Amino acid sequence: MVPFVPDAGSTLKWGAKMYKNVLVPIALDHEHQSEAAVALAKALQDPDGSITLFHVVEHVPTYISFQITAGMIDETRDAAIAELQKIAGTAGITAQISVESGHSGRAIVDYARDHDINCIVIASHRPGLLDYFLGSTASRVVSHANCSVHVMR
């Protein structure tokens, strides 16, 4: 049996809010439980902690990139920022907002590592057959993150 060893941002006091920096990745193009994930992050957040709402815009494949203007990419990013701000407002929280581009699983893990995140709260869907072969974003985050990960279904 492996003993519980908290990371630097947590405390062992049961029932206490534990995490200084909580990351909530939100897939705006999927029907996930973003409200529930934000509520859980708020419950887990240390009183002096912060919550970051995070979205990843997947890279555009090369074979169609010539059809997309730089303005379209900027509009997509701006729309994602606006939607994350709306989610934060609806939840009644002050959150840091970040939108990155890249591969979702990798971008989430890299952001968590680079920004001293103590806990990632990520929503997940019921895995389908394709997920068993390729792996879902949540399973990649669980496998590679260097911090606590709470997966919501």
Report if residue 13 sits inside a domain: no
The upper half-sphere exposure of residue 19, i.e. CA atoms within 13 Å in the direction of its Cβ, equals: 24
Can you give the pLDDT at residue 138?
A: 85
Q: State CA 9 to chain mean position distance.
A: 18
Report if residue 1 sits inside a domain: no
- Print the domain residue range for 68: 19-152
Report if residue 11 sits inside a domain: no
**Domains of the chain: total:** 1
Average pLDDT, the chain: 83
Contact call for residues 52 and 21 (beta carbons, < 8 A): yes
Per-residue DSSP letters for 132-153? HHH--HHHHHHHH-SSEEEEE-
Domain CATH for 42: 3.40.50.620
Q: How far apart are CA 84 and CA 127, in angstroms?
A: 25
Report if residue 27 sits inside a domain: yes
Query: What pTM value is reported for the model?
Result: 0.81
Identify the residue with better confidence: 7 or 19: 19
Q: What is the mean pLDDT of residues 34-55?
A: 92
Per-residue DSSP letters for 55-79? EEEPPPPHHHHTTS-HHHHHHHHHH
Structure tokens at 55: 């979205």
CA-derived radius of gyration, the chain: 16
The bridge status of strand 45-57 relative to strand 19-25 is parallel
For residue 131, count CB atoms less than 10 angstroms from its CB and return exposed for 0-12, middle for 13-18, buried for 19 or more: middle
Q: State CA 128 to chain mean position distance.
A: 21
Q: What is the pLDDT of residues 72-98, one digit of tens each?
A: 888 989 999 999 999 999 999 999 999
Report if residue 26 sits inside a domain: yes
Size of the chain in residues: 153
Q: Is the pLDDT at 61 greater than 60, yes or no? A: yes
Report if residue 9 sits inside a domain: no
Q: How far apart are CA 56 and CA 100, in angstroms?
A: 5
Report if residue 10 sits inside a domain: no
Report if residue 4 sits inside a domain: no
Percent residues over pLDDT 70 in the chain: 80
Contact call for residues 119 and 108 (beta carbons, < 8 A): no
